Structure 1
């Protein structure tokens, strides 16, 4: 299946077509060049080849030259209420620097969203290398992650009862992979924004090329157990450092998952107390994660928040009806969506903590907003009230904004994307 997009005057046209098996190397090399051209380790390249679904990957060709790429994983995303909803995981998007400003990115996004709709997936999600790009295609920043560097020489932990009853032991990361994945799978329905791991994705957190260690150790793993059952795990590296004042190593956290408060606390206490280290570094952790309420001094943790998952409603009715709402809601939304016009117009959303429905209506609207704002608020991590404060949601019926904003909350913790794609 191919399609064609016009370029600027004199630039010719580009053919868009599904990736063929024999085109993988040039496709991936084109993508890497767009992100700086640094080669990846062979094992990482091989893993991406196994994970990328060729039937959902696109190439844009100018004659015999590949000048653009895009792909879409077939994920299932946890939404408020715990349902696992099909979502296209947009990835590997690039346009060659020689072909910028010719409409290629718009063409790739157009073709891709048409395909996602044809696949029957109500959501598309992505992580953005440049966040300013994707708003015009209807994507809104819906989850955020915390980066932190904790000074463990000056920050102590106050742990809950039961922490001392959790047994910790080192384990080979590969050998422990299956039990860690079982813990992860139990966590997925608990928090909106988490991704159910498709076959093959369990290999991603175990990828450990020396070039990615930044001077640190090979990946290490500790399992948490209670009564013989694995209740959590931590995967991390130690970066040994020293100065004239003594050892000053860093613990670089990759993953921490615990099924209960005592397990989580035991894992964090372990990471904070590793010998010959003075700091714990973490990236992309949940904005409401428990460790922030265990530490003695949050100021010495150097928190920084960054956008993570961007959400796009491909089918407004199906997407809004797939989640639950933490308070009863009955509201008519006037939705603007120039890029996917099938979504534009009025939708009546009715729902509560047990379920929801969303259908076309001719009734008078209560709120007006674009599909971008719906994407930002969809997982409950961004409030409609906050968006209204920025002038991006308009209240047309008095009281509708507060009612709907409260209902859209996730109710079970801040939404979180556990890993990139």
Structure 2
């Protein structure tokens, strides 16, 4: 089979969407959702694979700015809309698109690519490592209370529509982004995503609501959520609250928001599907066993330009180590690199010196945002220490004070 890879032409957008929906087996999004994605995706950054007279594979890339350890924002490619038609799987289509895309990104000077995986086993073959996790949970609000610090009673809650609260929410979000690795700064157009609320996607919940948390007239936090009315169990209402997102600029406001959410009338539970695995809510609930907290994989990271990526992030401790990196997909990254880093900055250059650690590019992606320690990866046999003490040195340098986290899908 001959695979013809080319950039997506504007006139092929409808076929691109049709093939994408067919590959995932879904009904497709609401018209307003499709229109939003069309406005966000740079057509010239999308690839189509053609064979047998039509599109058989798709892949795109958004333009992001991602927070790194140390607070810097890095231009990052957000790989998305990757699909292969069921009639053309296991015939090299995906491999051809992934290699082409990574080559294009390298030529453009992009240092890092990220994605979320529908099937986690796929993208490790192309050097993507699982770098973040997300916590989900369901709080029994009839049995669990939230402890709030002094000052929480002075936080005023103001209920508005998501559109009315959008500007204030975005201002809070922008201030939070540099504090946690993995968060994505809102590029133009992405402020629409939290407002997208097609009735067909609500799953029995009401329209999305927004509450602004204010102190002395300043918005210090917000939550966007929806409520589903329920029946009664032994005469007790058993509706539920679904939390979409919540952010705050200080611990008092954050706790006050969680108290507000868990105090909603006529509900028995609160559910959420994406919070950081070190979210402070775990410390303020009265009974963690009645919260059903769990986690799953989140953002996958791929170093496209290894030295540029390693020099862009901050480091928690000094390190001077030689990394022997294997990279079968991006051979320009393979070889030995000396990383000299401290809290002031980093340099990464090719070297012929003996290696201190040996690892694959995938493991560097996993460790890049500071959530998965190199020592833990070594314990799994994925990093090899060649100089005694190098593993502890590098692992301490790479770690982040806060767990990295991707706040929304793409």
TMscore range, shorter length? over 0.9
Instruction: Measure the CA separation in 1 of the matches of 2:110 and 2:176.
Output: 23
Runs of 4+ in 1 over 6 A off after TM superposition: none
Question: Which range moved further: 351-360 or 86-95?
Answer: 351-360
Match of 1:77 among 59, 62, 66: 66
1:313 aligns with 2:306: no
Instruction: Measure the CA separation in 2 of the matches of 1:172 and 1:338.
Output: 50
Deviation at 1:64, TM superposition (A): 2.8
Instruction: Measure the CA separation in 2 of the matches of 1:359 and 1:72.
Output: 28
Deviation at 1:367, TM superposition (A): 0.4
1:286 aligns with 2:276: yes
Deviation at 1:158, TM superposition (A): 1.2
1:150-208 CA-to-partner distances (Å, cap 9, x unmatched) read: 11111111111111111111011112111111111111111000001110000011000
Match of 1:395 among 385, 397, 405: 385
Count how many residue pairs are aligned between Structure 1 and Structure 2: 409
- State the match for 1:8 in structure 2: none
Deviation at 1:63, TM superposition (A): 4.2
Please give the root-mean-square deviation of Cα atoms over the aligned residues, in Å.
Answer: 0.8
Could you say what secondary structure the match of 1:238 adopts? Answer: strand
Instruction: Measure the CA separation in 2 of the matches of 1:119 and 1:206.
Output: 32
Q: How does 1:147-226 map to 2 (within 5 A)?
A: 147-226=136-215
1:355 aligns with 2:332: no
Deviation at 1:244, TM superposition (A): 4.2
Match of 2:30 among 27, 41, 54: 41
Could you say what secondary structure the match of 1:116 adopts? Answer: helix
1:242 aligns with 2:228: no
Instruction: Measure the CA separation in 1 of the matches of 2:116 and 2:148.
Output: 34
- State the match for 1:31 in structure 2: 20
Distance 1:408 1:244, change over 3 A: closer
Question: Which range moved further: 125-134 or 294-303?
Answer: 294-303
Instruction: Measure the CA separation in 1 of the matches of 2:232 and 2:157.
Output: 30
Q: How does 1:31-110 map to 2 (within 5 A)?
A: 31-110=20-99
Match of 2:11 among 14, 22, 27: 22
- State the match for 1:381 in structure 2: 371
Instruction: Measure the CA separation in 1 of the matches of 2:289 and 2:382.
Output: 33
Instruction: Measure the CA separation in 2 of the matches of 1:84 and 1:163.
Output: 32
Instruction: Measure the CA separation in 2 of the matches of 1:386 and 1:107.
Output: 32
Instruction: Measure the CA separation in 1 of the matches of 2:208 and 2:174.
Output: 21
Instruction: Measure the CA separation in 2 of the matches of 1:111 and 1:207.
Output: 32
- State the match for 2:314 in structure 1: 324
TM-score normalized with structure 2 length? 0.99
Could you say what secondary structure the match of 2:366 adopts? Answer: helix
TM-score normalized with structure 1 length? 0.96
Instruction: Measure the CA separation in 1 of the matches of 2:342 and 2:154.
Output: 39
Q: How does 1:91-130 map to 2 (within 5 A)?
A: 91-130=80-119
1:17-38 CA-to-partner distances (Å, cap 9, x unmatched) read: 1111111111011001111131
1:188-233 CA-to-partner distances (Å, cap 9, x unmatched) read: 1110000011100000110000011100010000001111111110
Instruction: Measure the CA separation in 2 of the matches of 1:161 and 1:116.
Output: 50
1:368-418 CA-to-partner distances (Å, cap 9, x unmatched) read: 00000000000000000000000000000001111110110112x111100
1:46-66 CA-to-partner distances (Å, cap 9, x unmatched) read: 111111110100111114311
Could you say what secondary structure the match of 1:174 adopts? Answer: helix
Deviation at 1:265, TM superposition (A): 0.6
Deviation at 1:39, TM superposition (A): 2.5
Question: Which range moved further: 59-68 or 92-101?
Answer: 59-68
- State the match for 2:360 in structure 1: 370
Instruction: Measure the CA separation in 1 of the matches of 2:249 and 2:199.
Output: 31
- State the match for 1:143 in structure 2: 132
Distance 1:214 1:410, change over 3 A: same
- State the match for 1:4 in structure 2: none
Deviation at 1:112, TM superposition (A): 0.3
Is there any run of 5+ residues in structure 1 with no aligned partner, and where?
A: 1-11
Instruction: Measure the CA separation in 1 of the matches of 2:323 and 2:350.
Output: 10
- State the match for 1:263 in structure 2: 253
